[in-house]
Structure 1
Amino acid sequence: MKRLLLVLSFIASLIQIKADEGMWLMMLIERLNGVDMQKEGLHLTPEEIYSVNHSSIKDAVVHFGGFCTGEIVSPQGLIFTNHHCGYRAIAEASTPEKDYLKNGFWAKKKSEEFNAKGLYVRFFVRMGDVTDRILSKLNKDLSEEQRKIIIEEQIKAIQKENSENGKYTVVVKDFFEGNEFYYFVYQDFKDIRLVGAPPYAIGKFGGNTDNWEWPRHTGDFSVFRVYSDKEGFPASFSTENIPLKPKHFLPISVKGTKEGDFSMVLGYPGTTNRYLTSFGIQQMVEKDYPAWVEASKTAMEVMKKYMDKDHATQLNYATNYAQVANYWKNRAGTIEAVHKNNTIRDKKELEKQFQKWAEKTENHSVYGDLLNKIQAYYTESSDRNIEKNYSRLLQKNARYIKNAFQIGDILEVYLAQNDHSKALMKPELQHAIKQLYAGFNPQLESEMLVRMITLYQSKVAKDVASIKADNLQQLPELIQSSIFANETSVLNFLEKPDPKSLSQDKLYLLALAYIKNNQELAEKYAKGEEIFKKHSRLFLDGLRKALPHKKFYPDANSTIRLTYGQVTSLPKRSDRDYSGIQNNYYTTMEGMIKKYKKGDAEFDLPASIMKLYKDKDYGIYKDKNGKLHLNFLSNNDITGGNSGSPVIDGHGRLIGIAFDGNSEALSGDIVFEPQLQRSINVDIRYVLWVIDKFAGAQNIIQELSIVK
């Protein structure tokens, strides 16, 4: 009965929420009728969006590579996603002689499509609520470790029950800090091929300068295709595979958008922390994110120095540089937005309301001291959390640490084998070494390790430091003399393995000590983390009870969500150029041409774009005002992971592809800002215009179902 009352309370809260806020679970869509989505402009039934037994829109939305979203747009498995989502695959298909990042790529027939190695797409099949099942096995007297063991046992059973002997991937996730649990059934396809990508000048127009900003003029899209075996089932890459025949694909509307039009986004948002306390936000913006920003900036400086010198290095490090640059600007913008939008002040007001409720006699024993305990956790773990951020960026960017540890660990096992076992292991070990050193620039990596360790040691408190290098001036020489200096030196060691050389290798010893110290630190703080998780769970449980009329929805956690709202403008700023913009919810070709700077890395354009603009050759893709619209805004609630998500109109037709948010609301992962928070989307008409008029890829256009 108690569980039923909680569910009814949660559903009641949905009815009061504005349409533009919240990332909703698919199985709750029918209940969202209380908000009356039809009045907002939706002309579909809930079952046309999410159905287990029949094809529906959810069958056209894929988790792209585990880090982005994509949409199926043809009966032959064609996928649209963002250019920055396909960036790695485009870079890996490129060579200095055939630079597809710079010049673009268009397969004019299926035999020309590139195998995107390691890329997969995940189709959502169904989901279910297992909250009662799991919570019934738990009680308040269990330790967090005991609780974790019981939950993991239940998860394994749920996965086995729903996988149909391995046919499906089953993921069980907790929601509201472990107060609810749902399972998700997926089907993964691993034969994904690159079909088309605009040149960098279109796909990344504006570069880092325009990233997270509005107005935007970016053609952030790329085109892939998913293949299956001849029976339509997932299969590894094979020339025998055929284009997938999807359960559903999205028709495309070239009607255009106007302010107030209904817009719906389905996708896989990564992480939000909408219920983070004021103490957590303060730690984030005053200590954690500044550490991330500084470490990212250092890594970017090193990469750019060597990328500017060598084309091959530029291609090899392009993906990592783009990722680091994206998060660098995001973290810096979040710090600014939190302060500007008074996010911490607003959180404290919310916590005052909670504390007033918690002080009541019937609530005090469980909830009365929670906020004090949560605050104490952040005070006690502050230095450790700072260390985690510097450490995370060091591990991501300093590949010598990763390579020395991973390969050295395998070599330890290899050296302990007899000759027969070594002969069996050797080919796989050689392959692993080549993969870890693929695109590896020893000079760049040597400087990266020195710079990142120097920064780490200057910023991290000594009692929580994991890496201790005594003489940094000698580090480059230490690297050069190491077994792990480069691919050749490791492979040479493999031909004449010497246990003593490995045990005395200073780079290997440095990496081993770092990992060991990091593990010991994690163990030292494990108990505090365990208690903090419990307090966070109880706080959110209490908050939902204390504020029954407040809007509550689960934080994003890489599960498929729906968000709906409208095409919406943004208040203009005095420091921005709004050329070509009549109403501030869309941009046009005129604005992009005004930003054009010949030879500039961020604002150059292909000559053919300039010619098409001069001729006003927009075809069926021009708006009723005669202009070519490039990007538009909507108030859909999105975050990282939504990149590539379809923006869908009230009839279920594709009108755009979400690719970014705006700097004014970079605090959006912590709190939704209805007046400021926007999704920046590529207008689908611009996507089609680039494919059709710019690239001349008629084969792609002919596959699509275009509604005029």
Structure 2
Amino acid sequence: MRRLSALALLLVLPALRAEEGMWTFDNLPLKQLKEKYAFEPGKEWIDHVRLSTLTLGGCTGSFVSAEGLVLTNHHCTRGSIQRLSTKDRDLVKNGFVAMSRDQEIKIPSLTYRTLIAMENVTERLAKAVKPGLSEKDASLARAKELDVIKAGLEKASGLAYDVVNLYQGGETWMYGFKVFKDIRLVAAPEIAVGAFGGDYDNFTYPRHDLDFSMVRVYENDKPYRPSHHLTWSTEGLKNGDLTFVVGHPGRTSRLQTFAQMTFDRDLGIPTYLKGAERTRGILEEYGQRSPEHARQVQTLILGVNNGAKANEGSLMGLKDAAAMKRIEDAEKALKAAVAKNPKLAATTGQSWARIEQAIQLQKGYLKEAQHLGSARSTTLGQALALVRLADQLDLPVEKRLAEYRSEGGLKTLKTRLAGPAMGMMGQAPNPEQELHLFTRGLEDAAKELGAKHPFVLAALAGKKPEEAAKAALEGTKLNDPSVRKALLEGGKKAVAESADPMIQLARKLEPILMGLRKKQDDVRAILEEHSARIAKARFAVYGKTLPPDATGTLRITYGPVATYPANGTLQQPFTTWAGLYDRHFGWGGNEAKAYNGEWMLPQRWLDRMGQLDLRTPLNFSHAVDTTGGNSGSPVVNRKGELVGLLFDGNIEGNAGRYYYDDKVNRSVSVDARAILESLVKI
């Protein structure tokens, strides 16, 4: 297919700003790197940083020793540390260091993975979709072919494979991972240091956080010996030095249509923020019962606040009229290019309109999508999963929902359902806390959906929310893994005959939830089909010059240590230990307990202040394009050596979910020198 001339390309190509892009390893911007920084990484460098990096599921980590030691953020392991803590041994508050291997603490139900293999299956999928299929049938045909591909690759390699959609479905890859399930805690600082400044300082800069933790990967009860690990730099960074971030950014939406961004601005994000505010209030209400109750929800509240603040920044970006005008103009330019090409016009000309129609359907079930489900009860969530699994396995493979077709996916689901019980956000089960959450969840459903909604009628069965929640939780045995295992093995018959009140409730709710799922799948089919068509049109017009949106898959981004303008001045590229103590004393020290003690320091950090070199860089700002999921990503230099640990971004950069602004978008990382000095001296 003929592409636009060079002049026309310059006129319509969306501006790719300096350092923008979370690049996949098959399409690294080697030319740009060479032209701007006189550096072109070779295959050995690329493979080394890739194989040294792990995905932690929502965060990133990296091997930093030959014996399986992994470095990541404190906030990435905080939930696990909370699960290991007790009333009398608060590892979140007091920190932890294993002085020998036998002191390392195994973290239950944790999985890390390293990307080993990548295969592009786009063309194979295209052949599986016959001309003339409807959007839904095309989606089913692709899903069926992906199941075949996945099963074949896993059988041949022994790796666990994920389907990876890039460019809104314009490309489809299979990524193969080596999986680790024996993870043990090695070291973590006190939360007062790891999250210094709390929610007030989150997404701001200058920062003064020692946001790191260390775990060790074991295999066959011995420390795992990775083929690659990062070595610690002995030189350190200076302002202007080139840095690389290797990690698993969660999600960006830069290739969405203007209509999709408008939906997020007007409904999607405001709805999320309303839910986050309600969840925070419910948790704070529980925490007010006693100091121990407050300890139990501390990590949960931090997680809710983090998500809310990130989305608030994204919403601010979507309300930037000038930025949105640039996005709208870029879309108009692509539409015009499509209209001028008969082949593209035939396949893609109506795609933007179809996406707008899907958005209207999405608006119709938005409130139900918020409140139909487990009503904040993790036990009901397990019951619903058991009921749906039994129903799906009773169907022919081709008639099942997509996630119930592959043997690998089913094995993972069954293992999770038969494993230890979990509370909210993976915390340890807490009956009192779950009763509180479940009660409030049922109250919210009744308030928002109405007393006569089928879900509310089925969930309450004429009872008050607290009575219904209490009856289901007090009578259930699902917290016992052996009970869940028996239901898994017994299949649909065992589930149908179960007298467990949670299973019975889940069976009543499942038809209602499947009704919602059908609506969601219909919308998803339209969005996937036409987003992919637009992506292919973008390829035809521009070539593969733009990076794909973040999808939680391994990426690399680059840029220098850099300042930026804010508050009428320039922000410093580095902060130091001196700045940490200055901020602590500036808020009155521990005696003041300002704003619930957000800037207090543990006593040992005050006692040993004189042992630190107060000039040592603690955090630094660099012009790299990252987002949530990059937390814990290693920061490496030209030599592929570890120089830092990414943990945050500035508030100005939260609009990066939708567009990148090279003038102010900055990521914030812990300097490796501070990590090493703290381990030795504190």
**TM-score if structure 2 supplies the norm length?**
0.83
Q: 2:243 aligns with which of 260, 263, 278?
A: 263
Partners of 2:519 and 2:13 in 1: how far apart?
Answer: 41
Alignment partner, residue 531 of structure 2:
536
Identify the match of residue 41 of structure 2 among 34, 40, 45.
Answer: 45
| Alignment equivalent of 1:641, drawn from 607, 629, 632 | 629
Matching residue of 1:565: 559
Distance 2:200 2:42 in 1: 40
> In structure 2, how many angstroms separate the alpha carbons of the residues matched to 1:687 and 1:513?
53
- Determine the C-alpha separation between the residues in 2 that align with 1:524 and 1:455: 22
Cα separation, 2, equivalents of 1:15 and 1:480: 56
The one of 344, 347, 355 aligned to 1:366: 347
| 1:397 maps onto 2:386 in alignment | no
The whole-number CA distance in structure 1 between the counterparts of 2:547 and 2:309 is 27
Residue 376 of structure 2 aligns to which amino acid in structure 1? N
| Pairing of 1:111-190 with structure 2 (within 5 A) | 111-163=102-154, 165=156, 167-190=158-181
**How far, CA to CA, are the matches of 2:174 and 2:478 in structure 1?**
46
The CA distance in 2 between the partners of 1:515 and 1:126, in whole Å, is 38
Q: Contact between 2:455 and 2:512, CA under 8 Å: does it hold in 1?
A: yes
In structure 2, what is the Cα distance between the partners aligned to 1:396 and 1:572? 42
CA distance in 2, matches of 1:16, 1:370: 23
Kindly state the Cα deviation for residue 124 of structure 1 after the two structures are TM-superposed.
1.8
Q: Quote the offset at 1:594 in angstroms.
A: 3.2
Residues 209/389 of structure 1: CA separation in 2 closer, same or farther (3 Å cut)? farther
Distance 1:410 1:544 in 2: 39
Residue 22 (1) aligns with residue 21 (2)? yes
SS class of match (1:668):
helix
Q: Secondary structure at the match of 2:215?
A: strand
Deviation of the 1:528 alpha carbon:
3.8
Tell me whether 1:608 sits opposite 2:599 in the alignment: no
- After superposition, the Cα gap between the structure-2 partners of 1:537 and 1:91, relative to the gap in structure 1 and judged at 3 Å, is same
Give deviations 1:226-256, integer Å, cap 9, x for gaps: 1223xxxxxxxxxxx2222221221212433
- Alignment of 1:60 onto 2:52: yes
The range that moved more, 251-260 or 140-149, is: 140-149
C-alpha RMSD of matched pairs (Å): 3.9
Instruction: Report Cα offsets for 1:636-686 as digits up to 9, x if no partner.
Output: 111121110001111211111011122212121121222222111111111
Q: Helix, strand or coil for the counterpart of 2:75?
A: coil
Offset, 1:39: 4.5
- Give the Cα–Cα distance (whole angstroms) in 1 for the partners of residues 627 and 466 of structure 2: 40
Distance in 2 (alpha carbons) for counterparts of 1:462 and 1:287? 24
* Residues 575-605 of structure 1 deviation map (CA, whole Å, 9 limit, x = unaligned): xxx9xxx852222223322332424442210
Whole-angstrom CA distance in 1 between matches of 2:134 and 2:390: 39
Larger mean CA deviation between 380-389 and 94-103 belongs to 380-389
**Aligned-partner SS, 1:48:** helix
Unaligned segments of structure 1, at least 5 residues: 230-240, 413-427, 695-708
1:472-501 deviation line (CA, Å, top 9, x unaligned) = 98221233344646769999x99xx9x9x9
Q: Is the 8 A contact 1:433 1:490 kept in 2?
A: no
Residue of structure 2 in register with 1:667 after alignment: 655
Q: How has the CA–CA distance of structure 1 residues 126 and 584 changed in structure 2, closer, same or farther, with 3 Å as cutoff?
A: same
User: Equivalents in 1 of 2:500, 2:111: separation in Å?
Assistant: 38
The equivalent of 1:284 in structure 2 is 264
C-alpha distance in 2 between matches for 1:319 and 1:175 = 33
Structure 2 CA distance, aligned partners of 1:353 and 1:14?
Answer: 8
Is residue 82–residue 644 contact of structure 1 (8 Å, CA) maintained in 2? yes
1:403 CA drift (Å): 5.4
Are the counterparts in 1 of residues 17 and 662 from structure 2 also a CA contact under 8 Å? no
Question: Which amino acid is the alignment partner of residue 59 of structure 1?
Answer: L
Q: CA deviation at 1:635?
A: 1.5
Change (3 A) 1:82 1:361: closer
Deviations 1:142-200 (A, max 9, x none): 23444334434443444345446453222232222222122222211222111000011
> Where do 1:524-603 residues align within 5 Å?
524-546=519-541, 548=542, 551-573=545-567, 584-596=572-584, 597-598=589-590, 599=593, 600-603=596-599
Q: Which residue of 2 aligns with 1:704?
A: none
> In 1, Cα distance between the equivalents of 2:215 and 2:544?
42
Alpha-carbon distance between aligned partners in 1 of 2:154 and 2:460, rounded to the nearest angstrom: 52
Count of aligned positions: 635
- Take 1:433 and 1:132, find their aligned partners in 2: how far apart are those partners? 39
Aligned partner of 1:675: which letter? Answer: K
Offset, 1:202: 0.9
Q: Distance in 2 between matches of 1:16 and 1:528?
A: 31
1:512-531 equivalence runs, <5 A? 512-531=507-526
Could you give the per-residue CA deviations for residues 60-96 of structure 1, whole angstroms, max 9, x where no partner exists? 11112x2211111112111100001111221122111
Q: 1:401 to 1:125 in 2, by over 3 A?
A: closer
Deviations 1:45-73 (A, max 9, x none): 3212234xxxx222211112x22111111
Instruction: Look up the SS of the partner of 1:552 in the other structure.
Output: coil
Matched with 2:313 is: 333
1:194 aligned counterpart, secondary structure: strand
Q: Is 1:478–1:506's contact at 8 Å kept on the other side of the alignment?
A: no
Q: After TM superposition, list the pairs within 5 Å mapping 1:130-529 onto structure 2.
A: 130-163=121-154, 165=156, 167-229=158-220, 241-310=221-290, 312-340=292-320, 342-360=322-340, 362=342, 363-391=344-372, 395=374, 397-399=376-378, 401-402=380-381, 405=384, 435-436=421-422, 439-459=428-448, 466-468=455-457, 474-482=464-472, 484=474, 511-529=506-524
Distance 1:693 1:288 in 2: 47
Measured in 2, the distance between the counterparts of 1:586 and 1:380 equals: 48
Q: 1 CA distance for matches of 2:237 and 2:116?
A: 31
Counterpart position of 2:400: none
Check 1:15–1:490 CA distance in 2 against 1; reply closer, same or farther (3 A cut): closer
CA 1:282–1:485: 2 relative to 1, 3 Å = farther
In structure 2, list runs of 5 or more residues that go unmatched: 392-413, 488-493
Within 2, Cα distance between the matches of 1:527 and 1:361? 29
Equivalent AA in structure 2 for residue 117 of structure 1: P
| Displacement after TM superposition at 1:111 (Å) | 0.9
Distance 1:475 1:131, change over 3 A: closer
- 1:277-328 C-alpha deviation (Å, 9 max, x unpaired): 1211111122121111111111122212223434554454444333222212
Q: Which residue of 1 aligns with 2:397?
A: none
Structure 1 stretch displaced more, 656-665 or 348-357: 348-357
Is the contact made by 1:91 and 1:318 (CA closer than 8 Å) also made in structure 2?
A: no
Mapped to 2, the partners of 1:677 and 1:280 lie a distance apart of: 23
Q: Return the alpha-carbon distance in structure 2 between the equivalents of residues 410 and 182 of structure 1.
A: 27
Amino acid at match of 2:200: T
Deviations 1:101-148 (A, max 9, x none): 100000011111011112222122232323233323334422344433
1:113–1:540 distance in 2 versus 1, CA, 3 Å: same
Residue 679 of structure 2 corresponds to: 691
Report the Cα distance in structure 2 between the residues aligned to 1:373 and 1:592, rounded to whole angstroms.
53
Alpha-carbon separation, structure 1, partners of 2:119 and 2:460: 54
CA contact (8 A) 2:476 2:502 kept: no
